Amino acid sequence: MGDSRTLTNEGRIPPMFERLRCALVIGGMCWLCVACGDAPTSEQTVDTVRDAVAIGDRNTALAAIDRLEKTTIPSPEGMLELAGLWASVGEPGRAVWHLEEGVRRFPDEHRLRVALGRAAMLVSNPALAIRAAGEVPAESDVYLSAQVLLGEAQIKAGDLDAGLETLRRLDQSHPHAAETALARIGTLLAERDADAARDELARARTLTLSPEQSAAADGLELLLYRVELNQEDASRDEAVSALMNLVDRRPDFWAAWELLVTQLATAGRLEAARERVEGALLANPELVPLHALNSVILRALGEEDEALAAAERFAHQAKTPRGWAVVAEHHQASGDAEAMLSAFERGLELYPDDPGLAVSRAESLIILERLDEAREALSQVPRAFRESPKLEIVRARVELAEGDAAAARERLERVVSILDDSSAQFWLGAALEELGMTEGAIRRYGLAHMRGPLDPVPSLALQRLYFRNRDLRGAAMASADLIKVAPALDEGWIGLVEAQILLGDPRAALAAVKPLRAAAPDRAIGPRLSARALRDLGRFDEAAAALDSAEALGADVAVDRAVLKSREGRHAEAIADLTALARERPDDAAIQLALTKVAFVAGDETAGSEAADKAMRLQPDNLAPLRERCFFRAAQGKEVGVADCARYLDAHPGDSEAHYFHGSLLATLGRTTDAIGAYRRAADLDRSDFRSRNNLATLLGKVGDLDAALDAAQEAYALSNEHPVVGDTLGSLYVARGLPARAVPLLESAYAGAANAEIGLHLAEAYRALGRQADLEQILAAISSLPDFGPEEQATAEALSRND
C-alpha cells in the first residue's frame, strides 16, 4: 500500500481511505447481492407470465418480461429464452428486435439467427427470415433448421414453388432428417393439400423421430384430420376411424380425444364415444383428463348423476384448480348456480391462491345476487392479479348489478383497451344499454359477437336492440346469427320471421320457417310463425290451418286468431274477440297491444287509444302501443299525436319510421322547421328511406335552401326512381335550379305514373323554361280536366300560359 506519510497528488491513497474504499466496494457488492436477490429468475418469470396469461393480464406478463430483460446479463441462452417469452405473449416484434441485438452481440451463435428468422416470420417479414437463414453456414449444427426456415420463408414471401423445392432438396440431402419432413407436412396442410400431407406423414413416421418430433407429428396428424373434415367431400367415418387409431396409439393425446368425441357427437354416436372413453379409462386409470370429457358426454346423454360423478372424479384425481372448474361447469350447464358456487369454493379450499377460481367464485356470487360477498371475493384474489382486466370485468358486473351503470361503463371502457374479448365488449354493451346509449350498446354487442361468434348471448342482445330501434335489417341479421349458433332457442326464429315480415317480405319469412318445421315438427313455434307469414301473404285459410297445428302442439293462439280475422277485414269480430280475451285475462299486455293495433286498423281511435293506455299500464317499459297511436294520429293529422310521437321518440330515438311519421304530422300542422328536423333524423337513421328524403327535399325547397333540397331529392330519387312523387320533387327542384332539360324527363315520367295537376304544372314550367310552347300548351290543356285542378291551379296555369 505504500508509506502512509507520502500522499496524494501522485494518486497515492492513504490507508484510511483505502480501508474506506474497500468497505464501500464490499458494501456495494452486498447491495448488488441484495438487488440480485430481488431480480426475477427466468423460472419465476415464466410462472408469472403463465399465470397472467391465464387471466388475460397482459400488462403483468409484459412487465415481468421487461423486468427480466433489464436485469439479465445478455447471453445467447438468455436471449433465446426472452425472445420466446415475448413471442408467447403476442409480442413477436419485440422478439425480433431482441434477437437482432443478439445476432449483433453474438455473431457466431447461429441458433440466434434461426430464432430471429422464426420471429421475423411471426411479423410477416419473410425477407428478414430469408436473410437470417442465409447467413447460417453449412458447417453449422443448426444449418438444417436454417434451411427449413429458408423454405418456409420463401413460401411466406409468396413463392410456394421455391419454398417447396428448398424443402424437397433438403429431404434429398437429409433423407433421415425428420425436421424437413415435418416442415413440409406443415406447409402442405397450410395449403390444404391433405392427400400429399397424408403421404408425407406416413413417410415421416418411418423415420427416427425424437420424442418432440413424434409429438409434432401427432399434432400434424390431428391437423390433417381437421383439414380433411373441413373439406367438402369429407368422409367423417374415415376420419373417425383414423382418430380412433390415433388415440389407441396415443391415449394421452387429449386434443385427439376431443376431436374424436366431437365427431362422434355430430354423427349422433354419443354412446360410442362414451364406450370408447370409458374403455380407455378402464385400461388405463392414469388418463385422468378423460373423466372431464366423459362428464360432458354423459351430460349430453342426459345422465346427470353419472356426469357429475365423472366431473368429481376428475376434480379429485387431476389435482389442479381446473378440476373444480369442470365440476362447476357441470352445475352451470344444469342451471344450479348454488352448486356451481359450492364447486368453486371447494376448489378454493384446496387452491386458495388460484386467481381463476377466485374470479369464477365472484362471478357465481353475482349470478346469485349476493353482491357484497362478490365484492369481498374479489378482494381476496391474489394481489398480483387484483388489477387484472378479467377481475375488472367482474367488478363492473357487480357495479351493474348494483345499478351503477355509469361506473361500470367507465371501468369497462378502460378494460376493452387492454382486453378486447367477447366478455369485455358484452358487458360494456350492457352498461351502455342500461344508460340508454342504444347505438353504443349495439356496437359493443356487435363486437362481442365478432369476438365470440359461438356465443348466442350477444346476438340475443343485438336482436333486442335492433328491434327496439326498428332496424329490421339488423334484427334479421342478428336473428339469423342466433339461429346458426342456437337453433333450439325460439327467439332466433321469432325474430327472423318478424323482421322479414316488417321488411315487407312475408315470402322470405315463410321460407325461413321451413327448416325449423322440418327439423323440429313437434315445436309449436314453427306452425305459429308460418301462420304469421301466411297471414301477411293473404293466404288466410292456410294461416288458420297453421294456427290449428300450433294449437294442437299446445300453443295458445287465441290472440293470433283474432289478429288473423282483422287481416281478413273482419275488424268487428277481431275487436270483439280481443275484448273478450282481455276480460278473461286483464293482466295480459299482449292482448291489449293486439287490441290497440286492430282497433287503429279499424279506424277506431277511442278503442285503440284505451287499449294502448292499458297496455302501457301493464308494461310501462313497452311503448309499442304508443307507437301505434303516434302513427295513427299522424296519419289523421291530429295535433294530439305530436305528444305521443315525441314521448315515444324520447325513449326510442333510433326509430326511423317514427321520426318520419312525426315529421309528416309536423309538416301537416305547418311546423316546417320541426318537420325538417324530424325528416333529417329519419333519413340519417335509415339510409334506404326515400320518403323522408323526398319530404325533406320538399320542405327545404320551400324554405329556400335549394342546394340542400337538391341533395335530399337526388338521394331520394336514387333510392326510388319509379315513384312519381319523387320524380316530381326532383324535377321541380331542377327547374328552380335552372336545369329544365334535366327536369323534363323526370316530370314526364312522374306525370305518366300519376297524372295530377301539381305535377302537370311543374312540367309546364319546365317546358316554358325550355321554350317548348307547344308542349306547354298541351300539358296545360291536359291538366285542366283533372279532378284536382282547382282555382289555384288555374291561376298558375294562366300565368304560365302568359309567360309571366
Partner 1 sequence: MTRGLSFAAMALVLAILGCGESQEADTRGALSTRLTEAQQPHVIFLLVDMLRADWTTPYGDDRGTTPELERWAQRGVLFEEVRSQSSWTKVSMASTMTSRFPAAHGIREATDGLAPGAETLADAFKSAGYSTYGVQTNGWLHPSFGFDQGFDRYSFPIGGKQAHLPRPSLWAHADRVMDEATRIVSAHDPAEPMFLYLHFMDVHEFAAPQEFQTFGQGQEAAYLSAIRWVDDSIARVLELLDDHGIAENAVIVFASDHGEAFGENGLYGHAKNVLSSTTTVPLVFRFPFEVEATRVPSQVRNIDIAPTLLELAGIPVPEAFEGASLVPLMEGATEPDRETRASLRARLFKDATFQELASDGRWVYVRDFEDDGTPRRDRLFDREVDPGEYIDVSASEPDEAERMREILEAGLSRKPSKDVRETNVRIDPGIADRLRAMGYLQ
Binding site for partner 1 (CB under 8 A): 53-54, 56, 58, 61, 87-94, 97, 122-128, 155-158, 160, 190-191, 389, 413-414, 416-421, 432, 437, 439-443, 450, 687-688, 710-711, 714-715, 717-719, 730, 737, 739, 741-742, 744-745
Cβ 718 to partner 1 shortest distance, Å: 4
Q: Which residue's CB is nearer to partner 1, number 630 or number 746? A: 746
Please state, in angstroms and as integers, the Cα–Cα distance from residue 302 to each residue in 306, 337, 422, following that order: 9, 19, 30
Based on CB atoms, which residue is closest to partner 1, 429 or 641? 429
Cell (9 digits) for 7? 500522499
End-to-end C-alpha distance for the chain, whole angstroms: 122
447 Cβ contact partners less than 8 Å away, ≥ 6 residues apart: 420, 425, 429
Q: Which is nearer to partner 1, 28 or 738 (CB)?
A: 738
Residue closer to partner 1, measured from CB, 648 or 734: 734
The nearer residue to partner 1, 202 or 450, going by C-beta atoms, is 450
Kindly tell me which of 266 and 688 has the beta carbon lying closer to partner 1: 688
Nearer to partner 1, 343 or 442 (CB): 442
Residue indicated by cell numbers 362478490: 374
Least spacing, CB of residue 191 vs partner 1, in Å? 8
* Torsion of the alpha carbons at 466, 471, 472 and 473, rounded to the nearest 10: -100
Distance between CA atoms of 496 and 666, rounded to whole angstroms? 33
Considering the complex, what minimum distance in angstroms separates the CB of residue 299 from partner 1? 24
Of 9 and 417, which has the nearer Cβ to partner 1?
417
Smallest gap, in angstroms, from Cβ of residue 773 to partner 1? 20
DSSP per-residue string spanning 672-720: HHHHHHHHHHHHHH-TT-HHHHHHHHHHHHHTT-HHHHHHHHHHHHHH-
3-state secondary structure 99-134: HHHHHHHCCCCHHHHHHHHHHHHHCCCHHHHHHHHH
Q: 339 or 651, CB closer to partner 1?
A: 651
CA 395 → CA 154, 253, 366, 385, 517, distances in Å?
48, 38, 10, 13, 43
- For residue 426, the minimal CB distance to partner 1 (Å) is 14
Question: Closest distance between partner 1 and the C-beta of residue 258, in Å?
Answer: 14
Q: How far is the CB of 449 from partner 1 (least distance, A)?
A: 12
User: Locate cell 502512509: which residue?
Assistant: 4
Please say whether the beta carbons of 683 and 689 come within 8 A: yes
The DSSP result for 610-653, as a single string, is: HHHHHHHHH-TT--HHHHHHHHHHHHHT-THHHHHHHHHHHH-T
CB of 716 to partner 1, least distance (A): 9
C-beta of 158 vs 704, nearer to partner 1: 158
Q: Closest separation between CB of residue 801 and partner 1, Å? A: 25
At closest approach, how far in Å is the CB of 774 from partner 1?
A: 20
Tell me which DSSP letter residue 383 carries.
Answer: G
Q: What is the rounded CA–CA span in Å between residue 256 and residue 253? A: 5
Q: All 3 cell numbers of residue 679?
A: 325528416
